[in-house]
Chains A and B, each alone.
Chain A
Amino acid sequence: MTILAKYTKLREHYHRIAGAGRDPFTVKFDAMLSPTEGMLNGRRTILLGTNNYLGLTFDQSCIDKGVEALKSFGTGTTGSRIANGSYDGHAALEQELAKFYGRENCMVFTTGYQANLGIISTLVGKDDLLFLDSDSHASIYDAAKMTPAQVIRFRHNDPEDLNKRLRRVADHPGNKLVVVEGIYSMLGDVAPLKEFAQVKRENGVYLLVDEAHSMGVLGDTGRGLAQEVGVEDDVDFIVGTFSKSLGAVGGFCVSDLPDFDVLRVACRPYMFTASLPPSVIATCLRSLERMQEEPGLRTKLMANSKRLYEGLRNKGFQVGPDVNPIVAVSLPSIELAITFWNRLLEEGLYLNLALPPATPNSQSLLRTSVSAAHTTKQIDTAIELFGKVARQLNVQPALVQTAAE
C-alpha cells in the first residue's frame, strides 16, 4: 500500500479513457497559428475548446504591451504583493477593473481559481452561512472546504429552492452569502439572476456572482450577466478571470463594500502566493481596453455562437438550454463520447471531452467554446465534422439524450 493506493480506481478510470485513443488530459500543441488554429501532430487543427471568447490572445497591441513590460520589469515579481510590494501595473489594473465595473474596490489574484477560493473562503467565517448552487465550479466547492462557515447547497439554477433553504435558517444570526455563476462552464446555461436577486433582497443576504464565462460575453458593455439583466445593484461581489475573454491568466473581485481592502491582509490565497508577472498584467490592461474599444467582438461572438448552436441542433444533436459561446453536445455514454472526441480530433477539430463526475447529472459531453475570432467557415466545418463523425459511428443524433435535462 503506497501513499497513492487510494487513487487506484481513479488510475483505472484514467487509463480506460486514455487507452481509447489520444489522452485528452495531455493533448500537446506543437504551435499556435492563431487564436482559433493550432498544430497538433503536424496537422492544422481548429480550436473549438479554449474559452478564448474574444480571440485576443494574438492581438498585436496586447502582445506589444506585454513585451514592453517584460523588458522594463523583468520576467516575474518573484513574490507576493504583501512581501515584495506591488508594481504600478497591478494597482493600475485594479483601478481599471473597478472603473470598468463602476465599483469602489478591486483585488487582483494570480488565477481565477484563487479569486474564488480566496474571496469566498475569507468572506464567510465560522458563524456565517454559505449557499452554493449544486453545479458550482470546483474553485467554489474548494472555497467551501476551506471556510469554517456552514455550507448549504441549493438545486442548480433554482431560486425558489434557495429561498426555501434561506427561510429554514431565517433565525440564524450569522451573515449569509449566496454564490452563483453567470454562465455555467459545462452546459453554457445561464443563471436566472433576476430571480436570484429578488431572493437576495427578500432575505437580506449577500450575493456573489462569478462572471468568469460571461465577462466580455454578456451585457451592454461586457460586464456580464448582472449587467445583461439589470441587477448589478443587487450583486455585492463580482468575481472574474483574465483567462477567458482577456486572453491571459489571473482573476479578480470587485465590490462596493466599505473596508473591502481589509481582505488584502485576511485572504490567504491572495497573500501567500506570487503576484502576476508584469507582462501578464500589461496584456490584461490592454485587452480590457480592447474589449471596450471594440464591442463588435461581442456581436461577432454571439453570431458565431448562434450559428454553431443552431447548426448542431439542426443536425439533431442535443445541446444546452441557452445560446451561448459554450455549446455542449450530450452523448448517451462515456464510451461514445470518448470515441466521438477522438474521431473529431483526427479530423482536425479540437474541443473538450467532459465526463462525470465533472459534469452535471453525470452527462458525457463534447464541450465547445466559440470565439469571436472563428470564421464562419470554421464554424461550418465544425458542424459538418460533427455530422460526419456521427454518420461514421452510426449515431442517430435525434435520439441523443437532451443536455438540457
Chain B
Amino acid sequence: MTTDVNDIVETIIAALVKTLPTPVTVTTETSITRDLGLDSLAVMDFVMVLEDKFDVSIPMERIAEVETIGDLARTISELRGHA
C-alpha cells in the first residue's frame, strides 16, 4: 500500500471515529456497511465529509463498489490521481 493510501486511511479513521455514536476500532479491513452499523444514507453523508477533506467528488456508483475502509482510501487516491 502506498504512503498516499496510508495517509488517506488515517484521515478516514480519524474522521470516522468522530462520527460514530459508539467507539469502534477501525482498521483498513473494517467493512463500512457491516461493521460500523451505518445505513446507506449515513455512509453517503460520511463520504461528503471525506470529499471536502480530500477535495474530490466520489460518484455514487464508486461508493457502491466500496466495501472496506481500505477500498475507500484506494478509491479516493485514484480519484485524486486523476484530478
Q: Which of B42, B57, B61, B83 lies in contact with A165, CB distance below 8 A?
A: B57
- Residues on the B chain within 8 Å of A357, using CB: 39-41
Shortest Cβ distance from residue A404 to the other chain B in the assembled complex, whole angstroms: 18
CB contact list, B60-78 vs A, under 8 A: 60-61
- Residues on the A chain within 8 Å of B60, using CB: 144, 151-153
A151 with B39: CB separation less than 8 A: no
A144 to B62, CA, bound (A): 13
A153 to B52, CA, bound (A): 12
B44 with A134: CB separation less than 8 A: yes
A168 with B55: CB separation less than 8 A: yes
A152 with B59: CB separation less than 8 A: yes
Q: Which of A144, A169, A356 lies in contact with B57, CB distance below 8 A?
A: A169
**Any A CB within 8 A of the CB of B16:** no
- Residues on the B chain within 8 Å of A144, using CB: 60
**Any B CB within 8 A of the CB of A155:** yes
Q: How large is the interface on A (under 10, 10 to 19, 20 to 34, 35 or more residues)?
A: 10 to 19
**Any B CB within 8 A of the CB of A150:** yes
**Any A CB within 8 A of the CB of B56:** yes
B55 with A153: CB separation less than 8 A: no
**Any A CB within 8 A of the CB of B48:** yes
A24 to B68, CA, bound (A): 36
B41 with A152: CB separation less than 8 A: no
A123-158 Cβ-contact flags toward B at 8 Å (1 or 0)? 000000000001000000000100000111101000
- Residues on the B chain within 8 Å of A169, using CB: 57
A144 to B61, CA, bound (A): 9
A165 to B60, CA, bound (A): 13
Shortest Cβ distance from residue A85 to the other chain B in the assembled complex, whole angstroms: 37
CB contact list, A339-364 vs B, under 8 A: 356-357, 362
- Residues on the A chain within 8 Å of B51, using CB: 165
A357 to B55, CA, bound (A): 27
Shortest Cβ distance from residue B73 to the other chain A in the assembled complex, whole angstroms: 19
B45 with A168: CB separation less than 8 A: no
Shortest Cβ distance from residue A363 to the other chain B in the assembled complex, whole angstroms: 12
The 8 closest A-B pairs by CB, nearest first: A150-B59, A151-B60, A152-B57, A168-B57, A357-B39, A357-B41, A165-B57, A151-B59
Given contacts A150-B59, A155-B48, 10 further A-B contacts (CB under 8 A): A134-B45, A151-B60, A151-B61, A152-B59, A153-B60, A165-B51, A165-B57, A168-B56, A168-B57, A169-B57
